[in-house]
Structure 1
Amino acid sequence: NGYHIVKLETVPFSGKIRDICWDGDGERLVVSGDCESCPGVVMLADTGARIGDLVGHSKPVTSVAFRPRRPFRILSASEDSNCNLFRGPPFRFETPHREHARGAYVNVTRYNPAGSLLASAGSDKVVMLRDPKTAVVIGQVTGFKGTVYDMLLRGDKDTMTMVTGGADRTLRLFKLTLTTEGDTSTASGEMTHEHKIGTETGCMVMALANAPSGNVIALTLDGALHTFSPTLEPISVRYGHQSAVSGVCPMGEGVVALSFGGVAVYQADPADASAECIVATGSLPTCKAVAMLPLTPTSVLCVSEEKRVHTLTLSEGTLVSTVMTTLPIVPVHACMGHEGKYFYACSGSHVDKVCMSTGTVTQLVERGRAGCAVCVSASPSYVAVGTSSTMRDAPSVCLYSLEGELKHTLTYHQNGDIACVQFSPDGERLYVGTSQGKGCVWNVGSIHDTTSALFEEVPKPMSSGLDFQRGSINTAVWCDAETVCVGCGDGSVTLYPALHPRQRVALAGVTHPTGVNSICTLPGDRLVSVGNDGCVVCTQRPPQ
């Protein structure tokens, strides 16, 4: 069932989870992490029932290995330099192992797929090869120039290999040999291939994984996913975000997204994991992007909280960022004007108008007249500015002419501030969302100018049932003249028909648990959303 994909949700212990490992049958799993009283738990996957506790460590358990076949064993690795062996089920502590250097962090422990060899490694730059049943050391692999963060054991008997990665920014492939004479077993490793990813700190290898095709996947500190052949030949590199993604904008057939860490990534097709992916170079904003606005099919405007306005340009396989101008205010929201000649930025007390051709900044609305301006949107006729509520006044949307003259005030009698305003593509309708999850649509096309600055009769919203959200309305985008897509602080993305809001459609499988920050549309009825979870999600818009 696409709407109910979670079979079991449980909290194994009160602390951060560091590692999870399944048994060979997929019936049991062991979870480890940071918890003083019990840093690890063994449980049944179907019910969550506990069948063992990982005790005996004085510091967090960084890694666990579950022997994939009987007799079952679990080896835990910890920051206290120890590895503990557990026998079960039910799983009980059996023996401690202190072969790693005193004071070293043991970062990883792994079984090979057949369960015939066990290994552990850490900050002492040594891989310990162990007996799979007793965890006794039967061999060592040395020669590393930095901490080993992760490793893979692959194959069995004559085809057994090991891949390691760590702080020396190098992947190494070893051929492992296991020899048994009577009751005594010995193991050794010979390096056959190596590949240095780079020299920067961001090239440190933090995690490794096996691909179904037999390739090796490596995650580096800078957030890149590297794909290598079984002999460590580079195949591809995929870049992602390690912090909240604050903005996303169409660029040609793809999108460009910017995260809080100052990383801008272009994805040729956000729905295809193998599509082209380019990381921007040049001067980039390192704080929240309040708006990302399309300029041309190959360029995007980025307005950030650090006042500088950047232009991201895609050319000949590179994405370059340059500074266009500097705003006199710290913007909280921005929008592109009609025909792309100007863009508007608001900040609490006033709204600025910036010329795209010259970068000249002029004040559209005088300081203090805009109230507490928190969001802005523009149409061929108006610039809409959403304001905060006060002790005396309800939140409202002020409609200004393109010259800055206040024409109309739309009062929305709901609690909370106006958090989002967005004109429809034809400029006839205006979506308004609040910080309390309430939303409505005004038919601004039916508002006619009068000689006075304000209407004598306050217009009412044509639709006010768009209020099924449980958090602040963070962003909205019109899919067409009739449908608006809303992203909320509760992580949901919902489609609302403007005239029939109760026929809403929550996009299944599209959720950002810590909040949606931005949404954009792509050709082919596709929607792309980003959020505080650092994810870029592409989905097909369902028919309505």
Structure 2
Amino acid sequence: MSPPAESVFASLPHMERGVAKVLGGDPKGNNFLYTNGKSVIIRNIENPAIADVYTEHPHQVIVAKYAPSGFYIASGDVSGKIRIWDTTQKEHLLKYEYQPFGGKIKDIAWTEDSKRVAVVGEGREKFGAVFLWDSGSSVGEIVGHSKIINSVDIKQTRPYRLVTGSDDNCTTFLEGPPFKFKCTISVSLELLFCVVLVSVSVQIFLYEGKTGEKLGSLGGEKAHDGGIYAVSWSPDSTQLISASGDKTVKLWDVGSGTAVTTFNLGSDVLDQQLGCLWQKNHLLSVSLSGYINYLDRSNPDRPLRTIKGHTKSIQCLTVHKTDGRSSIYSASHDGHINILQSISAHYWDSESGENEGFVGKGHSNLVSRMTPAEAHPLRVCVCVCVCVSASDVVKMDMQPKCVSVGPGGLAVTVCDAAVRLQDGKVRLYSVQGNTLKDDGKVLEVQGPVTDMSYSPDGAFLAVTDEKKVISVFTVADGYTEKSEFYGHHAKVVCLSWSPDNERFATGGMDMMVYVWTVSDPDKRIKIPDAHRLHHVSGLAWLNPNTLVTTSHDACVKQWNLKN
């Protein structure tokens, strides 16, 4: 039996400039959700370090919404598939899958009885559909638009009303069920990003929920100085928040039509606000950077908290300990480096799971390897080799592939070249000052080398190769081969030694992680589908019984191996 994931530090939402991001909330107000790649991320709103990841879509997921009952979630992807799955079990069993149209699904809405689902998007023959959740039978027809429908919502009291907003600058109202076209209202704006019985672009229009009659607008002709990408109602329907490309979120009093509070989220382009959610007493917004902001009504210029992390694939990680405290460093494909702190050498900060990014000018591209040094908290290797503050930069003639730091802070970087060759041989070098001397010692392995690492005490050298074999050599015996380890079904890509030198972990293209015991090759722990969608890109140990893994799903996972 594989060990459970003790903690999941989830990815942030995948964001695109100028594209609204839908945040969903469960009806009890305990969780919120969003999408990144092929994953749906569910996070506890009080403690967002508690997260769950749904990974069953074969294509990129765009939107996910809870049923009002809270028992199911409907999620839609770029292929036009809708999956309706269970929320009460860890396995999230699939209940139904439908394809209402062929093309990207952009929004989803449920009726209040959780029996009907409306979906809209970039269909080829039609832009929307509404059907029974448990049979897929149509309960109306969404018509009245000539272009892509961006948003849909359903009035949550009878008689039901369905409203849509489209690229054709129109809002359409339908009555039902079965839902039938009632009227179209031309807004005469560049684009309608969302509707929840209000329609928005640079203005926010209010409509009577039953008749579709236009009641007025919030803030007059210009509610924000930029495009408005999302709105979300308060639980009592007397207020709403709006998120804008002008880098602000505004809190509106619907009765007076005025902005009560303006939340200023920054001045950088990445501070544009593309999504928002009012969940119980929490006001959330999501920035173009992917950061999720908990807004503070008493201090609108500073969020109560900001959830940070990665939005793109994590390439590598390492663990560094200072003053008895462990930090996990992870680096992603976009060049961002984040630090996830733990309160001790054993566990993540279970109260917050907070992390911080490095400041200063860092990398502009893929970070391929990181390693800690005694003199510096961290040295990173990519197109250049930098320290944590990016104050030391070493230009390289070729792209660095890996880096290692020895005593005294001496760093050795490999660039497309010689130590790890494609001929299945490992060559040993002596370090003499600032130069390397070929010792003439060659170790034979089964295939092209993919990774290698000395045990912390220097007693063993482990080497992985493309032939799915892990070879361990004993240093004191002149690098004689001690054991070979087999089990992976595809190329092994990374390895990491435990701090006690007794075990090491490997990750393969088969999406498996194995934990091996040096003294007994037959004793192993198998973690299948550690990240499900992708192979493990990085391994590191917090302590002898706690392994951390990363992957291209942009998530960090921590595994308890004590049992």
The TM-score range, normalised by the shorter chain, is 0.7 to 0.9
1:441 matches 2:471: yes
Runs of at least 4 residues off by over 6 Å: 47-50
Q: Partner amino acid for 2:363?
A: P
Give the 3 Å change call, closer, same or farther, for CA 34–248 of structure 1 in structure 2: farther
Who is 1:154 aligned against? 234
Who is 2:207 aligned against? 130
Who is 1:422 aligned against? 453
- Partner-residue secondary structure (3-state), 1:35: coil
Matches within 5 A, 1:266-277: 266-269=339-342, 272=350, 274-277=352-355
Who is 1:377 aligned against? none
Deviation at residue 300 of structure 1 after TM alignment: 0.5
- Partner-residue secondary structure (3-state), 1:237: strand
Map Cα deviations across residues 17-70 of structure 1 (whole Å, 9 max, x no partner). 323334334444433333322433445555666656644433332222133333
User: Residue 453 of structure 2 contacts residue 495 of structure 2 at CA under 8 Å; is this kept in 1?
Assistant: yes
Deviation at residue 420 of structure 1 after TM alignment: 2.1
Q: Structure 1-normalised TM-score? A: 0.74
User: Residue 283 of structure 1 contacts residue 323 of structure 1 at CA under 8 Å; is this kept in 2?
Assistant: no
- Partner-residue secondary structure (3-state), 2:157: coil
Deviation at residue 524 of structure 1 after TM alignment: 7.6
Deviation at residue 171 of structure 1 after TM alignment: 1.5
User: Residue 248 of structure 1 contacts residue 258 of structure 1 at CA under 8 Å; is this kept in 2?
Assistant: yes
Q: Give the whole-Å Cα distance in 2 for the aligned partners of 1:478 and 1:48.
A: 51
Give the 3 Å change call, closer, same or farther, for CA 405–228 of structure 1 in structure 2: same
Matches within 5 A, 1:207-286: 207-212=275-280, 214-229=281-296, 233=300, 234-252=303-321, 253-269=326-342, 272=350, 274-286=352-364
Deviation at residue 519 of structure 1 after TM alignment: 2.4
Who is 1:506 aligned against? 527
Deviation at residue 288 of structure 1 after TM alignment: 1.1
Give the 3 Å change call, closer, same or farther, for CA 478–163 of structure 1 in structure 2: same
Percent of paired sites with the same residue = 20
Q: Count residues with an aligned counterpart.
A: 454
- Partner-residue secondary structure (3-state), 1:256: strand
Who is 2:538 aligned against? 518
Give the 3 Å change call, closer, same or farther, for CA 34–434 of structure 1 in structure 2: farther
- Partner-residue secondary structure (3-state), 1:109: coil
Map Cα deviations across residues 173-221 of structure 1 (whole Å, 9 max, x no partner). 11112xxxxxxxxxx6222111222222121111112344x12111111
**2:391 aligns with one of 291, 300, 322:** 322
Give the 3 Å change call, closer, same or farther, for CA 500–344 of structure 1 in structure 2: same
Q: Partner amino acid for 1:24?
A: E
**1:191 aligns with one of 250, 259, 262:** 259
- Partner-residue secondary structure (3-state), 2:267: coil
Q: What is the alpha-carbon root mean square deviation over aligned residues? A: 3.2
Who is 2:121 aligned against? 33
**1:467 aligns with one of 488, 513, 524:** 488
User: Residue 460 of structure 2 contacts residue 473 of structure 2 at CA under 8 Å; is this kept in 1?
Assistant: yes
User: Residue 512 of structure 1 contacts residue 530 of structure 1 at CA under 8 Å; is this kept in 2?
Assistant: no
- Partner-residue secondary structure (3-state), 1:309: strand
Q: Partner amino acid for 2:445?
A: T
- Partner-residue secondary structure (3-state), 1:24: coil
Deviation at residue 163 of structure 1 after TM alignment: 0.7
User: Residue 251 of structure 1 contacts residue 298 of structure 1 at CA under 8 Å; is this kept in 2?
Assistant: no
Deviation at residue 162 of structure 1 after TM alignment: 0.9
Who is 2:377 aligned against? 299
Map Cα deviations across residues 271-312 of structure 1 (whole Å, 9 max, x no partner). 6473543332222111111211112497110110x2x21100
**1:201 aligns with one of 262, 269, 272:** 269
Q: Partner amino acid for 1:237?
A: T
Q: Give the whole-Å Cα distance in 2 for the aligned partners of 1:132 and 1:345.
A: 64
**2:426 aligns with one of 397, 402, 421:** 397
Who is 1:24 aligned against? 112
User: Residue 284 of structure 1 contacts residue 321 of structure 1 at CA under 8 Å; is this kept in 2?
Assistant: yes
Give the 3 Å change call, closer, same or farther, for CA 130–263 of structure 1 in structure 2: same
Deviation at residue 259 of structure 1 after TM alignment: 2.5
Give the 3 Å change call, closer, same or farther, for CA 278–162 of structure 1 in structure 2: same
Q: Give the whole-Å Cα distance in 1 for the aligned partners of 2:251 and 2:393.
A: 47
Who is 2:497 aligned against? 478
Give the 3 Å change call, closer, same or farther, for CA 264–464 of structure 1 in structure 2: closer
Map Cα deviations across residues 206-265 of structure 1 (whole Å, 9 max, x no partner). 1112344x1211111122221113566431223222322223233443223333333222
Give the 3 Å change call, closer, same or farther, for CA 70–521 of structure 1 in structure 2: farther
Give the 3 Å change call, closer, same or farther, for CA 14–428 of structure 1 in structure 2: farther
Give the 3 Å change call, closer, same or farther, for CA 495–96 of structure 1 in structure 2: farther
Deviation at residue 76 of structure 1 after TM alignment: 2.1
Map Cα deviations across residues 385-404 of structure 1 (whole Å, 9 max, x no partner). 43325xxxxx3434445532
**1:411 aligns with one of 441, 445, 456:** 445
Gap runs ≥5 in structure 1: 111-117, 178-187, 313-319, 350-369, 371-384, 390-394, 450-458
Q: Give the whole-Å Cα distance in 2 for the aligned partners of 1:40 and 1:334.
A: 52
Gap runs ≥5 in structure 2: 1-87, 343-347, 432-436
Q: Partner amino acid for 2:257?
A: G
Who is 2:416 aligned against? 348
Q: Partner amino acid for 2:107?
A: D
Q: Give the whole-Å Cα distance in 1 for the aligned partners of 2:135 and 2:246.
A: 42
Who is 2:462 aligned against? 431
Q: Partner amino acid for 2:472?
A: W
Q: Structure 2-normalised TM-score? A: 0.71
Q: Partner amino acid for 1:70?
A: R
Q: Give the whole-Å Cα distance in 2 for the aligned partners of 1:56 and 1:461.
A: 72
Q: Partner amino acid for 2:558?
A: T
Give the 3 Å change call, closer, same or farther, for CA 496–9 of structure 1 in structure 2: farther
Give the 3 Å change call, closer, same or farther, for CA 244–51 of structure 1 in structure 2: farther
Q: Partner amino acid for 1:79?
A: D
Map Cα deviations across residues 403-425 of structure 1 (whole Å, 9 max, x no partner). 32231322305xxx432223332
Q: Give the whole-Å Cα distance in 2 for the aligned partners of 1:195 and 1:475.
A: 44
User: Residue 170 of structure 2 contacts residue 188 of structure 2 at CA under 8 Å; is this kept in 1?
Assistant: no
- Partner-residue secondary structure (3-state), 2:270: helix
Matches within 5 A, 1:364-383: 370=418
User: Residue 110 of structure 2 contacts residue 117 of structure 2 at CA under 8 Å; is this kept in 1?
Assistant: yes
**Higher normalized contact order (CA 8 Å, seq sep 6+, divided by chain length):** 2
Q: Give the whole-Å Cα distance in 2 for the aligned partners of 1:271 and 1:33.
A: 40
Who is 2:241 aligned against? 163
